[in-house]
Structure 1
Amino acid sequence: MIIKPKFRGFICTTSHPVGCAHSVQEQINYVKRQKPIQGPKNVLVIGASTGYGLASRIVATFGSGASTLGVFLEKPASNGNTATAGWYNTAAFEAAATEAGYYAKSINGDAFSDQVKEQTIALIKEELGQIDLVVYSIAAPRRTHPVSGETFTSVIKPIGDSFTSKTVDMNSNEIVDVTLEPASEQEIRSTVAVMGGEDWERWIHLLKEADVLAPGATTISYSYIGPKITYPIYKEGTIGRAKDHLYTTSKEINKHIENINGRAFVAVNKALVTQASAAIPVVPLYLMLLARVLGKKGLDENCIEQMYRLLASRLYNTENSPNEDHLIRIDDYEMQNDVQAEVSALWEKVCIGEIDIVQDLEKYRKEFFKLFGFGFDDVHYEEDVKEDVSILSIKS
């Protein structure tokens, strides 16, 4: 079939298998051009099919020679519909890793469920023995608690007061005002339940109890803080409350695994174009201006560049190891004073109409399309492709 991008609101409902494979190969090629990492050897990535989770898996495999087990929830192609981008990404990754001689297997299911946790532990025991790095990188809108059965849905809202700011309307390409009403206490609680650290902690507890965490094992989860421009909607909003819980949880995990000399960290990563960030008012406009400033300074990084720097320069570099607060700032380029000053100045000019963002918007759109395998110059999108692609380790 000939596959074109289709949208429903902020969601792209199609993805391109060849384009996704091209994206994965670009990331692999980048890592192979870098210096090898003396890092992990058996890695579990929870949320392994897109974004930072996928990039972590690629860096661990092709940078450190690691065996990897990935957990995610994605849909295969069916009834003439394409698979999700994460499905195609994983199919391409597993094929490349297997061809290069690396162990790579995947479990497709609800990572919040105890059933998937038990399935993962069983596979680790059978084929890997123990894990020395656990990456927790889930970005999901809802979670059903495995004990209570309660389903929580996250929201993107300010806390306390309503918030009005500028954002970009992706349909009209215009700068418009947006107002968000404050979250209720239940909405705050639900967002923390989905995006906080409770499930991460449950994973680590069960892995440790099953004796599949290696001595000295490391676990890391990903977060974002951002600039003052986005504070009301992010750092000081429902998402920020969840990320505060995530950081607090990292301290509890450290206590739980200290008897095996384990380490737990939260990495604060830079802002990137993702399907999730596209749905957050204010953030797309900020991302466009940030990319302009970082690009001019030669400091812009994508997922794979961030994750390589995280593992090579911080997690597994004894000369620059993380400090005792267990918070790793890999957003350092974004948060440089000169970068933020220039972004703020551009923001003010955009908001009063002094400059246009046509080129910034086009660049943003291109990066967004690439998330789903579209927009690569080397891919022939007018050709028929097979949408039904298998993942090697997952039986259909």
Structure 2
Amino acid sequence: MVIKPKVRGFICTNAHPVGCAQSVSNQIEYIKSLGFEQEGPKNVLVIGCSTGYGLASRITAAFGYGSKTLGICFEKQPSERKTGTAGWYNTAAFHNEAKQAGLYADSLNGDAFSDELKTATIDKIKQDLGKVDLVIYSLASPRRTDPETGEVFKSTLKPVGQAYTTKTYDTDKDKVHEITLEPANEKEIADTVKVMGGEDWQRWLSQLNAAGVLAEGCKTTAYTYIGKELTWPIYGQATIGRAKEDLDRAAQAIMQDASALNVQANVSSLKALVTQASSAIPVMPLYISLIYKVMKQEGTHEGCIEQIAGLFNERLFTDNPPTDELNRFRMDGKETNDATQAKIKALWDKVTQDNFHELSDYAGYNTEFLNLFGFAIKGVDYEADVDPLVDWS
């Protein structure tokens, strides 16, 4: 079939297998070009491995350090009449590239929040890897089923304390407008923490530790976004922010639980980028379009793969890496420094419906959004007839 993007709101409902494969290949070539010299991880578990920062982490580990990687994801496979998800095609492409390079790569597809998948993962590690020395936690989900009670919790994107009115950009209507978000109640806050906080990360590491599959000195990190003044009301000081604060608690609990193995747990704060998760958050399409404009002018713009390469090379696998006051790795400094934020704030104050496309880099935002699903990738013939049926062998 000839596959064209089908965009609805902040999601694309299909994906292009050849485009996804080309995107994975491009990221692999970037990592190989860096020529990492320091010793890195041997056996890596990536929880949330199929898109965005999780996929970039898997690529960096495998093709930067020669690591064996086991990935966890929740993706839909294709049929003859419908494409699979982008994450399905990304994972298939990664498996193929790893196989050609002689690297171990396998993936388990299912609900990462469930204890059943945790048990299957532990069995797979014992069978194929023995122990893991790096665990990446990069999940983004709107809901979570508690594995003990069966209760389903749903996250909420709301401010905390008071209503918040701000500018936003509606990608469907190509419209800059004001939006008012009512404050979350206590249940909505607690439910968001339950879904997006550190409980599941902690549960993963606890069960891996109890099963004896964590190596001495194992490292683990969970990804977050902190942001600055413009995004704090909807991100940092909102329901998502409360959930992300819980990651700091979980990091300490993980190290205490696995202290005998000297496990190191850090939250890693990364820059704002177009991802399937960020596209759904009010304010973020406008904010990201503006930071792309500023950071590209400054020559400081980075995508997922550049951010993760820096995290591995400059934080995770270097001696005495710098951390902030909460022991977090900060890879967001090129975005959150005062000078860059001042430029972004100046554009934010000026932007209107009439000048949005002039002041922003929405074209770059939109291209990266399409890239997530394998579209608008250079070198891919989107008029060609392609087979959507791709497996993970």
TM bracket, shorter-chain basis: over 0.9
Map 1:15-54 to 2 at 5 A: 15-36=15-36, 37-54=38-55
Match for residue 228 of structure 1? 229
Map 1:1-396 to 2 at 5 A: 1-36=1-36, 37-78=38-79, 80-318=81-319, 320=321, 322=323, 325-351=326-352, 356-357=357-358, 360-392=361-393
Post-superposition CA distance 1:86-119 (Å, at most 9, x none): 0000000010011101000000010000000000
How many angstroms apart in 2 are the aligned matches of 1:256 and 1:60?
Answer: 25
Structure-2 change in CA distance of 1:323 and 1:215 (3 Å): farther
Aligned partner of residue 102 in structure 1, secondary structure: coil
Post-superposition CA distance 1:283-338 (Å, at most 9, x none): 11110110111111111110000000000111111153547842110101111111
Q: Which amino acid aligns with 1:312?
A: N
Contact 2:16 2:375 in 1 (8 A): yes
Q: How large is the Cα RMSD of the aligned pairs?
A: 1.4
Aligned partner of residue 228 in structure 1, secondary structure: coil
Shift of 1:41: 0.5
Structure-2 change in CA distance of 1:182 and 1:21 (3 Å): same
How many angstroms apart in 2 are the aligned matches of 1:130 and 1:222?
Answer: 22
Aligned partner of residue 110 in structure 1, secondary structure: coil
How many angstroms apart in 1 are the aligned matches of 2:303 and 2:355?
Answer: 29
Q: Which amino acid aligns with 1:60?
A: A
Structure-2 change in CA distance of 1:325 and 1:177 (3 Å): closer
TM-score (norm 1): 0.96
Q: Which amino acid aligns with 1:6?
A: K
Give structure 1 stretches of 5+ with no counterpart.
none
Aligned partner of residue 129 in structure 1, secondary structure: coil
Contact 1:166 1:351 in 2 (8 A): no
Contact 1:315 1:321 in 2 (8 A): no
How many angstroms apart in 1 are the aligned matches of 2:98 and 2:353?
Answer: 50
Q: Which amino acid aligns with 1:34?
A: L
Give structure 2 stretches of 5+ with no counterpart.
none
Aligned partner of residue 333 in structure 2, secondary structure: coil
How many angstroms apart in 1 are the aligned matches of 2:357 and 2:204?
Answer: 47
Q: Which amino acid aligns with 1:293?
A: V
How many angstroms apart in 2 are the aligned matches of 1:238 and 1:363?
Answer: 28
How many angstroms apart in 2 are the aligned matches of 1:230 and 1:331?
Answer: 14
Name whichever of 77-86 and 134-143 sits farther off.
77-86
Shift of 1:357: 3.7
Q: Which amino acid aligns with 1:329?
A: R
Q: Which amino acid aligns with 1:15?
A: A
Name whichever of 331-340 and 82-91 sits farther off.
331-340
How many angstroms apart in 1 are the aligned matches of 2:334 and 2:76?
Answer: 35
Shift of 1:169: 1.7
Shift of 1:68: 0.3
* Residues paired across the two proteins, number: 392
Q: Which amino acid aligns with 2:218?
A: A
Q: Which amino acid aligns with 1:318?
A: D
How many angstroms apart in 1 are the aligned matches of 2:296 and 2:162?
Answer: 35
Q: Which amino acid aligns with 1:99?
A: Q
Aligned partner of residue 165 in structure 1, secondary structure: strand
